[in-house]
Amino acid sequence: MELLQISRLPLFAGVEDVNAALASLGARRSAYPKGSPVLHMGERCAEFGILLSGGADIVRQDAGGNPVTVAHIGKGELFAEAFALSGEPLSVSVTAASEAEALWLSASRLLSGGEPRVCANALRLSARKNVFLNERIGHLSRRSIEEKVLSYLRAVSKSEGKRTFSVPFGRQGLADYLGCDRSALSAVLSKLKGRGVLDYHKSTFRLL
């Protein structure tokens, strides 16, 4: 990604000299093949990332030690900022969901106040992520899988402003996100399709 494209990312909104900001924050770039680890659970990170291309999954282990995808990171999104800024070890891992490239920035340099605009943008983006987390809690609070599915899909439809949209999960990822079994989720989707509530093909859905 070229400097002009980086300057258009939400993190750098309103920053006059992006090149100088990158230098002051110790910016570095790293590429990740699909399926490769980006961050490991338990490690401490002095940097936080912003995804320049591709996608990544935030994965947590359940009580049985099985990996569960809890969120998806898309282009332009921050990740690991809470852990980098707090100094706490990671309670999740991050894996490249596709071929991806990340821009890494120093948390300590951000906290020093040398780039107030970037700091303000990072705070705003982090707050927005907390809003999304609260939305997920709302979906998970539904009693049945059908209610969870419809709650999530209606929220995405509202956010996109259209009835046909794509979600950033495959079937297993969506099941993990909604806290249910994949086969049970597939059965509910098939049932909803049969009732004429929705239609779908892979990760694209249409609410009818």
* pLDDT at residue 31 is higher than 70: yes
Per-residue confidence band for 35, with pLDDT thresholds at 50, 70 and 90: very high
pLDDT value of residue 164: 96
Mean pLDDT (whole number) for 49-69: 86
Mean pLDDT (whole number) for 13-29: 93
Between residues 22 and 134, which one has the greater pLDDT?
22
User: Residue holding tokens 């939305």?
Assistant: 135
Q: How far apart are CA 139 and CA 136, in angstroms?
A: 5
pLDDT in tens, 164-184: 999 988 888 899 889 888 999
* pLDDT at residue 134 is higher than 80: yes
Q: How far apart are CA 74 and CA 173, in angstroms?
A: 14
Q: How far apart are CA 78 and CA 207, in angstroms?
A: 30
State the pTM of this model: 0.73
CB atoms within 10 A of CB 44: 11
Helix axis angle, 171-178 relative to 116-140, nearest 10°?
Answer: 80
* pLDDT at residue 1 is higher than 80: no
Dump the DSSP string for 142-161: SSSHHHHHHHHHHHHHHHHT
Q: How far apart are CA 21 and CA 112, in angstroms?
A: 13
Q: Taking a C-beta distance cutoff of 8 angstroms, is the pair 185, 178 a contact? A: yes
Mean pLDDT (whole number) for 18-34: 95
Tokens describing residue 45: 């990170």
**Amino acid found at 196:** G
pLDDT in tens, 79-122: 999 999 999 999 999 999 999 999 999 999 999 888 899 999 99
Dmax (CA) for the chain in angstroms is: 57
CB atoms within 10 A of CB 189: 21
Q: How far apart are CA 123 and CA 155, in angstroms?
A: 24
pLDDT value of residue 136: 84
Phi, psi torsion values for 167, nearest 5 degrees: -105, 155
Kind and range of the H or E run holding 99: none
